[in-house]
């Protein structure tokens, strides 16, 4: 095995990497939009004294995302790990919002 | 604070959750497509005896995703953590492919 230098990248690999870069740009923008929505959820929950996390809602989300993953060819276990990764960040944001809201 | 039951969800919260569910469906499908591309990369690398990971490529991806995150209002630190989360899974796939490829 050897490391790749710029001149040695096979054209098929360069093409796949261009697709991956486009997908990543889309993912980043969707994540930005998702956190805009969850920030609004956080402010709404803080204003109404609702808890930052909602286990019932999360169970429904996990079930749905596992089904969507199966339909689209993604490993359902990975989809569940992905949601947990995102939700950890969301709950961190909600706790920050709750901590800075007036009582 | 109290838990939410179905009848008590404020309409603004229900609306934000509908947007989040749509975004999540898009994220799952994009992730499925991204792993389709990286599986092809894995097979290509295994066939040519190239190493599963490529630190130079990853450094370029991190820099670019941090910039895209800043432009779109996403925390660049989170974007970097997100890429690391995805790349861990990709490298696991590539190692599996390399282990099962003929020498």
**Structural domain boundaries in chain B:** 9-100
Nearest Cα of chain B lies from the Cα of A98 at a distance, in angstroms, of 11
CA atoms of B76 and A2, how far apart (whole Å): 31
Of B38, B45, B74, the CB nearest to A31: B74
pLDDT of residue A96: 83
Using alpha carbons, select from A29, A31, A36 the residue that is nearest to residue B72: A29
- Determine whether the interchain pair B27/A34 forms a contact, defined as Cβ–Cβ distance below 8 Å: yes
**A102: its two tokens:** 């007036």
Q: Which of B39, B79, B49, B26 is nearest to A20 (CA)?
A: B39
Question: Which residue does chain B place closest to A93, by CA atoms?
Answer: B75
B chain contacts of residue A24, beta-carbon cutoff 8 Å:
34, 61, 64-65, 68, 83
- Which of A20, A21, A45 is opposite residue B38, by nearest beta carbon? A20
How many angstroms separate the CA atoms of A96 and B67, rounded? 25
Across all residues in chain B, what is the average pLDDT?
90
So what's the pLDDT on residue B1? 44
Tell me whether residues B85 and A83 touch, CB distance under 8 A.
no
Helices B76-100/B11-48 angle, 10° precision? 40
In this prediction, residues B63-89 reach a mean pLDDT of 96
Q: Match domain B9-100 to its CATH number in 1.20.59.10, 3.40.50.1820, 3.60.70.12, 1.10.3720.10.
A: 1.20.59.10
First to last CA, chain B: 61
CB contact A57 to B (< 8 Å): yes
What is the chain B residue with the closest CA to A19? B37
Would the pLDDT of B3 be above 80? Answer: no
CB contact under 8 A, A54 and B21: no
Q: What pLDDT sits at residue A44?
A: 94
Q: Give the pLDDT of residue B100.
A: 82
B78 band by pLDDT with thresholds 50, 70 and 90:
very high
Give this prediction's pTM: 0.89
- Tens of pLDDT, residue by residue over B5-55, are 656 789 999 999 999 999 999 999 999 999 999 999 999 998 998 887 889
Walking along chain A (103 residues) 10 residues at a time, the average pLDDT comes out as 64 96 98 97 91 89 97 96 94 82 61
| Confidence check: pLDDT of B2 > 60 | no
Note whether B52 and A49 are within 8 A (CB): no
């Amino acid at each position: 095995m050897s490391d790749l230098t710029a001149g040695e990248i096979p054209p098929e690999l360069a093409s796949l990497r261009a697709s991956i870069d486009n997908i990543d740009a889309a993912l980043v923008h969707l994540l930005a939009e998702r956190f805009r929505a969850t920030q609004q959820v956080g402010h709404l929950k803080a204003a109404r004294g609702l808890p930052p996390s909602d286990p019932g809602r999360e169970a429904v989300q996990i079930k749905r995302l596992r089904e969507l993953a199966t339909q689209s060819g993604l490993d359902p276990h990975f989809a569940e790990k992905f949601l947990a990764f995102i939700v950890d960040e969301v709950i961190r944001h909600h706790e920050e919002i709750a901590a800075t809201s007036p009582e």
